[in-house]
Homo-oligomer: A and B are copies of this chain.
Amino acid sequence: MKKTFLLASLLSIGAMATNPLIKQANDAGLKPLPKSEAEMLKLVDNSKNHITKAKVELGKKLYFDPRLSKSGLISCNTCHNLALGGVDGVEVAIGHKWTANPHHLNSPTVYNSVFNQKQFWDGRSPDLEDQAQGPIQATPEMAAPKALVVGRINSIPQYVSEFQATYGKDVKIDFKTIADTIAIFERILVTPSRYDAFLSGDENKLSKEEQEGLKLFIDKGCIACHTGVALGGGMQLFDANKKYKYRDVGDFKGDKNGMVKVPTLRNIEETAPYFHNGKIWSLKEAVQEMGTTQLSMKISDSDANKIVTFLKSLTGKKPNVQYPILPASTEKTAKPDVK
């Protein structure tokens, strides 16, 4: 037995890990990100539109291109800023003409959003390809009609030739293709952390305090919603107990069945303010609020602090992103309209 222990410890083999918390976490439904790039790619791929390097590069350009908005000033990255945990850091999303989201909704992170089972707070979109079409067109966000976006891209010869190099000479650069390409870039935005190494069997990767937090996280039932590879991403009944402190801020009440998307907890340290309406700025307060609202329990200061310590171990390594140089507009490109 001692021999096996040493071997497992030396080789970091998950299956042999003796730390019971690793087994408990895996049994509870928590899943690490794959270690190998090939496995990771398989996990995040789109079977109808496979990931390629060319699509990722082109999708990155589109993701950062503010000319996809009516004003020419707002890109996907404005609200889902890759420098800031994939969010904008403000309570409510601010879009075209400085319009706040009319439902008082907070921008969710783009990092690891590929693992969401549904997209948007009310889960109305099945995947990133579909989701990417929304904010571009939404009047309080990028406010660009499909024809404007398609016209702008097609007016820029370098974009046209990049689409052709990516999808073939006969590609029709329509709105769907543009959104699909953005989604391919978003699919690769995953962020492995020490937590994944721990879950895969490397028991030294989380400190004693972080492990205590993880155990509390499981034991208290947080994993009922914050589960799987994303620690979230599914749908859950919104505020069934009608206890949420800021329930009356904004008119969001979930989908038609009262269900709301459970946010991923990866990089949660970086994505304040919290909840659909961005009303809570402190991670500890957010943990305690979830205790009251969803678990009908008071989480003590001491336990909340430990859970927060664990949650911070979910801050992951971001993919390297070279800031793109975008192809210049031409005289045929529809002018920005800030009105």
Instruction: Tell me the A residues contacting B by CB distance below 8 Å.
Output: 64-67, 71-73, 78, 81-85, 88-91, 94, 97-98, 100, 269-270, 272, 281-282, 315, 318, 320-326, 328-329, 331, 335-336, 338
Contact = CB atoms under 8 A, between A and B. Distances in A.
Nearest to A78: B73
Contacts of A78: 73
A81 B66 contact: yes
A338 B282 contact: no
A90 B338 contact: yes
Contacts of A282: 331
B97 A71 contact: no
Contacts of A83: 64-65, 323-326
Nearest to A270: B328
Interface centre among A72, A326, A328, A336 (most CB of B within 10 A): A328
A89 to B, nearest CB: 5
Contacts of A67: 89
**Taking each of A73, A81, A315, which has the highest tally of chain B beta carbons within 10 Å of its own beta carbon?**
A73
A98 B338 contact: yes
A269 B328 contact: yes
A32 to B, nearest CB: 22
Given A84-B328, A322-B323, 17 more contacts: A66-B84, A72-B88, A73-B90, A82-B325, A83-B324, A84-B326, A89-B329, A90-B336, A98-B98, A100-B338, A270-B328, A272-B329, A282-B331, A315-B328, A318-B325, A321-B322, A321-B323
A89 B72 contact: yes
Nearest to A282: B331
Nearest to A327: B270
Minimum-distance CB pairs A-B, first 8 = A98-B98, A321-B323, A270-B328, A323-B323, A83-B326, A90-B336, A318-B325, A97-B98
Nearest to A269: B328
A273 B318 CA distance: 35
A97 B270 CA distance: 25
9 contacts: A64-B83, A66-B89, A73-B78, A82-B325, A83-B325, A83-B326, A89-B329, A270-B328, A281-B331
A223 to B, nearest CB: 24
User: Which of A78, A320, A326 has the most CB atoms of chain B within a 10 A radius of its CB?
Assistant: A326
A331 B281 CA distance: 7
A337 B91 CA distance: 9
Given A321-B322, A325-B318, A328-B269, A73 B94 contact: yes
A18 to B, nearest CB: 34
A236 B318 CA distance: 47
Given A94-B338, A281-B331, A322 B325 contact: no
Contacts of A336: 89-91
Contacts of A335: 281
